[in-house]
């Protein structure tokens, strides 16, 4: 089992690399491969490819770096390789990003979504949603909102909070075993139900969650707290 982490020296805002550390705790035999922005990604398939949130300037560098691998990434998505994209990493694989001055930054075009920047107004909120009948909690902090296009399939149904944009009924995107979400926190240790689903998508059938009892109790308390506070 391989966990390929793309550009962790830049794509690691909000402590989201703890998603990877949690997976390593769940899968102690897994091989973690960190790929620097100065290196070439392996994209060998199997296991998981992870990319976390980054600055807007870094997005341009990451898109430029990954563009020669667009076909390969598309093949991996189509074949069912697991991907986890958190924060604004999903925008890299989207159609394009509309900058605040109206110019466009073209993405890889592999996800049916585009984003709009609003650098002067950061959106911060908490989120409560549904994942296959179970609650998901998380936090959002972003300068963009996203608009899904034809064929998009949401990841989490909104119960309380904001989806891909303020009118969208769902948060994140799913394509085969690719899971993309703006939720930060990090999302896996906060949501055992979603962590189990990702492990299954990775092919780690029957893997036990690290700190399972404590994680479940903390999850229950957090869901109850979110119901009381999220509007």
**For residue 230, is pLDDT > 90?**
no
Q: Mean pLDDT throughout 80-100?
A: 96
Q: Which segment of 101-115, 119-133, 155-169 scores lowest on mean pLDDT?
A: 119-133
Average pLDDT, the chain: 94
To 10 degrees, the CA torsion angle through 189, 6, 140, 107?
-150
Contacts of 77 (CB under 8 A, 6+ apart): 83, 110, 175, 176, 177, 178
User: Which pLDDT belongs to residue 33?
Assistant: 97
Beta bridge partners, 135, equal 130
**For residue 231, is pLDDT > 80?**
no
Bigger pLDDT: 174 vs 15: 174
- State pLDDT tens for residues 191-205: 999 999 999 999 999
| Percent of all residues in the chain with a pLDDT value above 90, rounded to a whole number | 84
* pLDDT band, residue 185 (cuts 50/70/90): confident
* pLDDT band, residue 227 (cuts 50/70/90): confident
- State pLDDT tens for residues 24-79: 999 999 999 999 999 999 998 889 999 999 999 999 999 999 999 999 999 999 99
**For residue 94, is pLDDT > 70?**
yes
CA distance 64 to 103: 17
User: Which pLDDT belongs to residue 147?
Assistant: 97
User: Which pLDDT belongs to residue 225?
Assistant: 87
**For residue 13, is pLDDT > 60?**
yes
**For residue 97, is pLDDT > 70?**
yes
């Amino acid at each position: 089992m391989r966990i390929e982490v793309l550009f962790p020296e830049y794509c690691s805002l909000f402590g989201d690399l703890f998603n990877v550390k949690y997976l390593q705790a769940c899968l102690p035999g897994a091989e973690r491969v960190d790929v620097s922005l100065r290196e070439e990604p392996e994209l060998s398939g199997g296991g998981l490819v992870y990319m976390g949130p980054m600055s807007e300037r870094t997005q341009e560098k990451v898109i430029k770096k990954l563009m020669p691998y667009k076909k390969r990434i598309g093949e991996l998505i189509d074949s069912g390789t697991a991907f986890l994209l958190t924060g604004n990493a999903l925008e890299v694989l989207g159609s394009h990003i509309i900058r605040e001055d109206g110019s466009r930054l073209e993405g890889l075009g592999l996800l049916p979504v585009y984003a709009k920047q609003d650098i002067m107004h950061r959106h911060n909120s908490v989120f409560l949603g549904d994942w296959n009948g179970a609650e998901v909690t998380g936090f959002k902090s972003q300068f963009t909102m996203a608009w899904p296009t034809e064929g998009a399939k949401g990841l989490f149904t909104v119960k309380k909070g904001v989806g891909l944009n303020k009118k969208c009924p769902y948060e994140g995107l799913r394509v085969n075993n690719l899971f993309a979400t703006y939720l930060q926190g990090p999302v896996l240790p906060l949501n055992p139900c979603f962590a189990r689903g990702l492990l299954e998508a990775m092919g780690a059938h029957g893997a036990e969650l690290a700190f399972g009892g404590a994680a479940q109790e903390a999850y229950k308390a957090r869901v109850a707290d979110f119901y009381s506070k999220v509007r």
